[in-house]
Amino acid sequence: MQTPSLSGVGRNPFVHELRFTVPEKIKIGFMSVTVFPVRLLLVSFLMLLAWPFAFTASLGRSEFVVEPQSWWRRFVDLCLRVIMRAMWFCGGFHWIKVKGERAAPSEVPILTVAPHSSYFDAIPVTMTMCSIVTKLESRSIPVWGTLISYIRPVFVFRSDQDSRRKTVEEIKRRAQSGGKWPQIMIFPEGTCTNRSGLILFKAGAFIPGLPVQPVILRYPNKLDTVSWTWHGPGAFKILWLTLCQLHNSMEIEYLPIYAPSDQEKENPALFASNVRKLMAKALELPLTDLSFDDREIILSQGPLRVQDCSSLLHFNQLVSRLGLRAGTTAELLEEQASRARKLQGNRLALDDFAQFLSLQVTDPLRQVHSLFDQHGDGHIDIRLYVTALSTVHRPSRSLETLKLAFKMYESEENGPIPEEELSAILEVMLGVKELDLSHLFLAIERPDSGKITYDALHRLTQQPHFTLNGLNYQEHPRKSCISPSKSCNGQIHDKDN
């Protein structure tokens, strides 16, 4: 695959590394045996104290109709705000700086909040008691799940294939209620990052085409113990380290209301992009051309993990724009692989490629086609496209993609494929160029045959450091005597909304 230049991809936003100086380690050790147990006890007590209030106020309340706020529910709401603020105070968030003014729900139904980097981002939610968009599983979290249910969130049903459409419809229904429903506080990034830049916004908050109020969060702490990314310290470690700080600073800033133009109302992606630019400018952060769907590509693991993400990230963005990424399943990949095998290596022009995908010829489709035009003659091997689609669909399950590729290339079931074809497959999967497999073929039983079966290659991949020792390619880490960067520096967490 030809590698485009992809701007805006600098520091990995999904990784957070913590390094402590000796004095910091001593301070954390001292706080761990003195302040931390007391704070943890107080935070736990206050959370438990909030539970009966939230549970009582949620009894008999409809999930679809807004009842008038009775006096006793208003009293419960006040009690919960006080209790939750006391909880954050006991956790070290002694004062929270608030800039600007929050608009009324009748004026602005949706608040867009960024960057989303921690479960401590719940602080502005508890201060305002706004609704949020969250996964249905959050409701089953002991104690905290009841508090989430109290603020009447928009639940996302992951098991429902039509979940995205239903979520957007519910957001739109509430947003058009004229302020009867509570404001919805949406984190449009859709996942946690390390605040090194703003990743692409999801369009859900912008589809109603109504004014939104951007809200930006800052944690101006010398030591960042709050960031909870996909690779980094786990949830309890973040809690422990944060409670061990003498004080945790947080700033919430309400920016002016953003009213969309007619063009933005018709184009939610443009609306989201412009709000994102505005928020990035206020935060003095760069825009990062990555999305929630890109995180698995960047963080892929295993013996055949992605080595250079640039081309695959660009490909992933293009197929997402074409609507091909959301509809990708293992069954679809198998069906496309079967059709690709029947072509027996016949290369497709742009029109044939569009017909293969049942799409019209558009600029994004033309760009996808050009990525695989290795000879510059306007024709591509469709098998490489299917391999790339499988790679971005399941980047951490590279052996499944490899097996699928072998099915497309082998002339008989479980048969061998030539070295040059394997090289083309792996160049796409790893995102590299000029792949040399001579070292790999020396490791098989019959290196002089110039062919290899999937089973033989699978056995080789089980060897330690297979990618570095068995393969050689342009800009290989071995060539500059630099150790490869780790794809993971800790646990994998589930931080999407």
Specify the pairing of strand 96-99 against strand 184-186.
Answer: unpaired
Helix H or strand E segment including 138? none
Amino acid at 174: R
Residues 6+ apart with CB under 8 A from 462: 303
Return the SS3 of 110: strand
> Among residues 336, 330, 327, which one has the least CA distance to residue 408?
336
Q: How far is Cα 428 from Cα 445, in angstroms, rounded to an integer?
A: 26
Q: How far is Cα 377 from Cα 394, in angstroms, rounded to an integer?
A: 30
Q: How far is Cα 257 from Cα 301, in angstroms, rounded to an integer?
A: 42
Architecture of domain 22-290: 3-Layer(aba) Sandwich (3.40)
Q: What is the pLDDT of residue 485?
A: 39
Q: What is the pLDDT of residue 489?
A: 34
304 C-beta neighbours (distance < 10 Å), count? 24
Amino acid at 92: G
388's tokens: 């790339």
> Among residues 224, 225, 281, which one has the least CA distance to residue 253?
281
Helix H or strand E segment including 291? none
> Could you report the average pLDDT of every consecutive run of 10 residues in the chain (497 residues)?
51 90 96 97 96 88 74 90 97 96 94 96 94 86 89 80 81 87 93 94 92 97 94 94 96 97 95 97 93 86 84 91 85 94 91 94 94 91 96 91 94 87 92 85 71 88 73 66 37 56
In this prediction the pTM is 0.82
Tens-place pLDDT, residues 65-87: 776 677 888 899 999 999 999 99
Residue found under tokens 């305002």: 128
Return the SS3 of 16: coil
Residue by residue, DSSP assigns 347-416 as -B-HHHHHHHHT----HHHHHHHHHT-TTSSS-B-HHHHHHHHHHHHSTT-HHHHHHHHHHHH-SSTT--
Q: What is the pLDDT of residue 5?
A: 42
> Among residues 196, 218, 31, 53, which one has the least CA distance to residue 120?
218
Terminal alpha carbon distance of the chain:
33
Report the interhelical angle of 363-371 vs 350-357 (nearest 10°): 110
Q: Helices (H), strands (E): how many in the chain?
A: 20, 11
Residue found under tokens 């004026």: 107
> Among residues 117, 109, 277, 285, which one has the least CA distance to residue 189?
117
Distances (CA, A) of 95 to 35, 228, 411: 18, 22, 69
Distances (CA, A) of 473 to 294, 301, 437: 24, 19, 9
CA 47 to the chain's CA centroid: 29
Residue 447 is classified by DSSP as G
Q: What is the pLDDT of residue 164?
A: 77
Report the interhelical angle of 363-371 vs 310-321 (nearest 10°): 150
> Among residues 340, 341, 360, 342, which one has the least CA distance to residue 350?
360
Report cis status (omega within 30 of 0) of the bond before 115: yes
Spans of all domains in the chain:
22-290, 295-491
